[in-house]
Homo-oligomer: A and B are copies of this chain.
């Protein structure tokens, strides 16, 4: 449970930056530099201000009453005057977030009220933009009816400003019902508010200006709902004072569930703002015995939040490494077609887990050999040599005598390898400059080691490269490390990534490209976050298959048509989807057996068991051009192909949505056929 704010002594070194604000309750308070400064001195980073005041509200009500008495459906409001507003331009405005009038209801079924509400919204937003405000909190729809009408008004409002962000204020689950009796409330639909948001942002075309101010209530919904919002652009968390509860000394604290929610959401990037609301209201539930200990009440909430800020758990290794890369899209490497730069190798070499696993695997492979005989060990695609170092160490640990060979095509890395051999390896290594597929040694290799895997296992052409060098492997007991690898997929909701790709209007192939990306703001749609293995590759390949491919001109370059057919793959998987959502694309991972029981994994559900803290690979993402909405209890079929011509390798993918009625499945929709052929990996 929550600890007492004053009890901590030393502060941790890396305190995250949290921007905490105060919602001004007084609808008529003039927001000037004095008030902003006073609130800053109290410890707040920002305050809110109502754009218009109650005087303006009264004027609008009079106009409405007059128009209603004339049975009119429209009436035109007079412009705002200086007496109607609380805000004005000035340097203090950077510490202010504007709030639109709470009585606005653009989606009202009353046409007169809706018409007037739209005028007020437009006037308020236009004035806020004039004042230079960067963020405006806009009241969300009042019910789950009339969402399209609300969205249409917001879409029009967005067009008034090209940079101001609109934060749509939304409940976390639903508008209806008694929160204390949610489980018995038949009308309660925990994804109702999310559904409304999804409709609003779909209608507004995933506008980057449209974000969320989420209300955090005393009773939190199912964790699946909390995860759902994690995938969305949360720009602000609204925490009213009644969401807090008093601790034994009467100080307001948050439940452990609320603390966990804060920890989760506050790791999103950009970090959401926290807005404390109703802090001036006496809390309903108090702990009467401890009133003598209570500090100045309105600030107690802020003090508690600051305490939380200072006591956040430390980041994991993967989080630290990935900092700044969250949801940032990269094109996969083309190491076969391009020569990598030293800095790229260096980044990969920083991963201790991966190379430790390789060392273990090499040692196991050596242990399986007879003692005494000289074992030929080759690293093909040696880069700057990290696997050479590990292989030499494994040989020492295993007590085996080895002939160590390093093969590298990149001429600059080759120079580096020669230097390493002199400085570190005592010239024990035979360094060869060659594309592995063209390498023709006068000996055979017993243990062939490579690190050619991409985020989706085979996407950087490991199968094709290893096919090309298998000639060199000793046919009697020669082994390859890795021995096998497989590609894994799951459908995900990732609106942030979708919006990013959709904004790349100048690139016609933006949705036909798999991206390497450290996925963060996502929601898994599959039941139990299921990830499916779609296909795998084993090495060495049976000789009859490889022999036929070679006879068709395969081997190095210029594979004839069909010569790479044994490396084609296809797969179809049905994922059960318990909760409605939007498929924005497929998250891809891999697993690999290096040797024996030594494995690598990037799957979130197996990485901790197989290769905890491994950082070398981010997941891969296969996007959908048109997001596919699927209802509760639906099924998503994912078809995926690994395709090849004689020149390159690429992927194709189709996603379909179904519902089951009795024994029949009915298709609800299907994506286009997506193909990365134009951006395929060149051999």
Contact = CB atoms under 8 A, between A and B. Distances in A.
A673 B632 CA distance: 25
A572 B149 contact: yes
A560 to B, nearest CB: 9
A91 to B, nearest CB: 31
Interface in A612-667: 626, 629, 631-632, 637, 639, 641, 652, 654, 656, 659, 664, 666-667
Contacts of A652: 152
B670 A152 contact: no
A508 B656 CA distance: 28
A545 B189 contact: no
Nearest to A641: B152
A422 interface: no
Contacts of A561: 76
Which label, helix, strand, loop or mixed, suits the secondary structure of the A interface? mixed
Which of A151, A152, A552, A666 is the most central at the interface, judged by chain B CB atoms within 10 Å of its CB?
A152
A339 interface: no
Interface string A62-77: 0000000010111110
A74 B667 contact: no
Interface string A361-381: 000000000000000000000
A552 B562 CA distance: 75
A640 to B, nearest CB: 10
A631 B205 contact: no
A148 interface: yes
A124 B72 CA distance: 70
A659 B631 contact: yes
Given A72-B545, A659-B631, A673 B155 contact: yes
Interface residues of A, number: 56
A149 B571 CA distance: 10
Given A70-B544, A152-B654, A670 B202 contact: yes
Interface of A: 70, 72-76, 111, 115, 119, 148-149, 151-152, 155, 187, 189, 195, 199, 202-205, 544-545, 548, 552, 561-563, 565-566, 568, 570, 572, 580, 626, 629, 631-632, 637, 639, 641, 652, 654, 656, 659, 664, 666-673, 675
18 contacts: A76-B561, A115-B568, A148-B637, A152-B652, A155-B675, A189-B664, A199-B667, A199-B670, A202-B671, A202-B672, A203-B670, A203-B671, A204-B673, A626-B626, A629-B668, A629-B669, A631-B659, A668-B668
